[in-house]
Amino acid sequence: MALDPQVEKILTWAARANAPAYPEIGATAAREHYARVAGTLDIVTPALAEVFDFDMPLAGRVLRVRQYAPWTHHWATPKPALVYFHGGGFTIGSIETHDRVCRVLARGGDCLVFSVDYRLAPEHRFPAAVDDAFDALAWLRSEAASLGIDLARLAVGGDSAGGTLAAASAIHARDRGWPLALQLLIYPGLSHDQNTESHRRCARGYLLDAETIQWFFGQYLRYPADRHDWRFAPLLADTLAGLAPAWIAAAGYDPLRDENVAYARRLGEEGVPVELIEYPGMIHAFFQHAGFVPAARRAHDDACAALRRAFGGFDDEPVG
């Protein structure tokens, strides 16, 4: 399928802007640039009943977490919850850059969302981000009663590198006997190498190019051997059997498209319920283009419907 016409416009504007590539400007400037542009094509910020930040004390560090609720929430009435990890190649991004996506998922999924501001590279290299994801999930489980989380309806999710963290967290949860209702994986990174047809076909000209992907990994990974660790590349896990059901969004013009398809296929072969939806005319990060690209809004609706189903709701159930 051809590129979505609105996406074509985005790529044309990006080419004309001729902005310096992240590898040229370094991590600090890349974060600042991404923070400025991340919401440019996103939807108007949805209003929710409750949005606030709190500190999560973990061993040797404190992480910031943003909690979202589409209704007035009290700890005495446990609700379904999604633990969310933002994208950004483990190097850029924050709970601020993904605020609107989390609001959409809270409102449309009719659930609490806890967005985790995990540590970034290169200041904190592998496995810092994945350790933060694992420990955040453990902490939220331990504090479920005080936070009003229904542990029978707890999910993990994320986009891009955050999708990697969510997929790895689902494996971690299985290995510890922690049930999850869903793993919501939005164009996640899953492979230890980039030797697929989609990586070759989309190596240039689709916003996330091959050079930038390798630069992100160079910021995050300590040694070449880290690439072969399943916590970085969940496709390398010995087994995916017994994992939580998965909902995976793939983009047709995303270098990561083929590894998303491969992961969905392997989940299915190993007995895990999985729904893979490919959005053919989309590019990487399209979930943050929903203010300009109607197809991205449809993907928001699909993700929210998947959450409601996982939590025992219905697609036509009123939300809010």
pLDDT at 320: 37
Q: Which residues pair with 182 in a beta bridge?
A: 155
Whole-number Å distance between alpha carbons of 231 and 73: 34
CA dihedral 128, 130, 131, 134 (to 10 degrees): 160
Is 73 an active-site residue?
no
Confirm whether pTM is higher than 0.85: yes
Residues in the chain: 320
Q: What secondary structure does DSSP assign to 229-285, as a single string?
A: -TTT-GGGSS--TTPPPEEEEEEEE-TTHHHHHHHHHHHHHTT--EEEEEEEEEETT
Is 301 in the active site?
no
**Candidates 3.20.20.70, 3.40.50.920, 3.30.160.60, 3.40.50.1820; CATH matching 5-310:** 3.40.50.1820
Q: In the prediction, which pLDDT does 314 show?
A: 54
Q: Which residue type is seen at 101? A: V
Catalytic, out of 172, 284, 289, 300: 284
At residue 211, the pLDDT reads 97
Give, for all 320 residues of the chain, the pLDDT tens digit. 799 999 999 999 999 998 889 999 999 999 999 999 999 999 999 999 999 999 999 999 999 999 999 999 999 999 999 999 999 999 999 999 999 999 999 999 999 999 999 999 999 999 999 999 999 999 999 999 999 999 999 999 999 999 999 999 999 999 999 999 999 999 999 999 999 999 999 999 999 999 999 999 999 999 999 999 999 999 999 999 999 999 999 999 999 999 999 999 999 999 999 999 999 999 999 999 999 999 999 999 999 999 999 999 754 443 43
Retrieve residue 110's tokens: 């009719």
Tokens 């990586």 sit on residue:
199
Give whole-number Cα distances, 29 to 14, 77, 126, 131, 271, in Å: 18, 43, 21, 25, 44
Domain residue spans in the chain?
A: 5-310
Residue 153's identity, in one-letter code, is: R
94, 115, 160, 198: the active-site residue: 160
3-state secondary structure of 22: helix
Catalytic residue among 110, 254, 258, 289: 254
Tell me the Ramachandran region of residue 305: left when phi exceeds 0, alpha when psi lies from -120 to 50, beta otherwise: alpha
